[in-house]
Amino acid sequence: MTVNATPTPGAVPLATEGYKPPKATHKARVLPGFGLSLGITLTYLSLIVVLPLAALLARPWEHGLDGVWQTISDPRVLASLRLTFTTSLLAALVNLFAGLIVAWVLTRYDFPGKGLVDALVDLPFALPTAVAGVSLCSMYAANGWVGSLFAPLGIKIAYTPLGIFVALVFVGLPFIVRSVQPVLAEFDAEVEEAAATLGATPLQTTLRVILPSLAPALLTGFSLAFARAVGEYGSVIFIAGNMPFVSEITPLLIVIKLEEFDYAGAAAIAVAMLSLAFLSLLLVNALQLLLSRRGRA
């Protein structure tokens, strides 16, 4: 049992100083089962996550380090990695703003059809990605509803990186909305009112008070949307056009390698992708930690 109450020298305590209840250890809990639940957790994670990834890591080395390096330093692979990660990042960034606004509207206002709108948000979760890909493609092709509006301007959406971006925005939206919504719903109205009485404009209240409180949730949503976008396959291949060096995403390249029976090459690209994704998530987690240090100690 630890008590984190550090008496501050010099201060005249009027009230009892910051006392924190001792952190409950598993021994102090009412419900037993720490050993069992941890055992299940570790076994499950090993089987579902660690083992397949370990197998993947073991796979690419049959042509040695050189073989792996040659596969992933292939300009076509590098171009696909660049495309996959930059479009994913851009899509997640756009969703960060759009998703925040959707979550805001859904929590702050009451309007007819709100339930329907709320349900619509989940549709990209539920829809088979191939279905999404086909419908997006028909919408954004030069002769589709939306595509025909942009075609006269010389902007092609389907079969270009722009099309990939559209598909990734589509699949990423629910992640931001669903991470931010509960936090926004629980936001104490009195905090906003306090900001107003202290002279803050609505914009200042939003930027200085509300957004910083949402930052951890936004970051979580962002990283989920980003991770989903990096791994997205089904919806993208229909709309991307899949031209090497231009609109070919890495997951597709892996499938191509597999179809050529180049299992080691496919695994090498997969490992490269895995490490990049892992690094990105690590970065996000570090940011998250930094945010949670502030005020949520």
Partner 1 sequence: MSLVVENITKRFSDFAALNDVSFEAQPGEFLALLGPSGSGKTTLLRLLAGLDRPDTGRIDFDGLDYLTLSARDRRVGMVFQSYALFRHMTVAQNIAFGLNVRASKDRPSKAEIQATVQRLLKLIQLEDLGKRYPSQLSGGQRQRVALARALAINPRILLLDEPFGALDALVRKDLRRWLRRIHDETGVTTLFVTHDQEEALDLADRVVVLKDGQIEQIGKPLELYRHPQSAFVFDFLGTSNQVPASLSDGVADFGGFSAPVVSPKALSGAQTVRFRPFDTHLLREGPGFEAKVLSLLPAGANLRLELQSPTGQVFETQHAHDSEASDLCLNDTVYLRPSKVYAF
Binding interface with partner 1 (CB under 8 A): 8-12, 14-19, 188, 190-191, 193-201, 204, 208-209, 212-213, 215, 294-297
> Which SS3 state, helix, strand or coil, does residue 6 take?
coil
Nearest approach, Cβ of residue 7 and partner 1 (Å): 10
As a whole number of angstroms, the distance between CA 81 and CA 76 comes to: 9
Nearest approach, Cβ of residue 29 and partner 1 (Å): 23
Nearest approach, Cβ of residue 196 and partner 1 (Å): 4
Q: Which is nearer to partner 1, 113 or 199 (CB)?
A: 199
Q: Which is nearer to partner 1, 209 or 284 (CB)?
A: 209
As a whole number of angstroms, the distance between CA 180 and CA 224 comes to: 12
Nearest approach, Cβ of residue 287 and partner 1 (Å): 14
DSSP string, 37-105: HHHHHHHHHIIIIIHHHHHHHHGGGGGHHHHHHHHHTSHHHHHHHHHHHHHHHHHHHHHHHHHHHHHHH
Nearest approach, Cβ of residue 19 and partner 1 (Å): 6
Q: Which is nearer to partner 1, 183 or 270 (CB)?
A: 183
Q: Which is nearer to partner 1, 186 or 259 (CB)?
A: 186
Place of tokens 């597709």: 252
The pair phi, psi for residue 200, each rounded to 5°, is -75, 140
* Residue among 220, 222, 231 at smallest CA distance from 276: 231
Give Cα separations from 42 to 31, 208, 293 (angstroms): 20, 41, 27
How big is the chain by its Cα radius of gyration, in Å?
A: 24
Q: Which is nearer to partner 1, 45 or 290 (CB)?
A: 290
Give Cα separations from 290 to 100, 128, 266 (angstroms): 21, 36, 36
Structure tokens given for 292: 């949670």
Nearest approach, Cβ of residue 5 and partner 1 (Å): 9
Q: Tell me which amino acid residue 60 is.
A: P
Q: Which is nearer to partner 1, 127 or 210 (CB)?
A: 210
Q: Which is nearer to partner 1, 10 or 113 (CB)?
A: 10
What is the rounded (10 degree) CA torsion for 215, 217, 218, 219?
80
Nearest approach, Cβ of residue 222 and partner 1 (Å): 18
Q: Which is nearer to partner 1, 25 or 201 (CB)?
A: 201
Nearest approach, Cβ of residue 172 and partner 1 (Å): 26
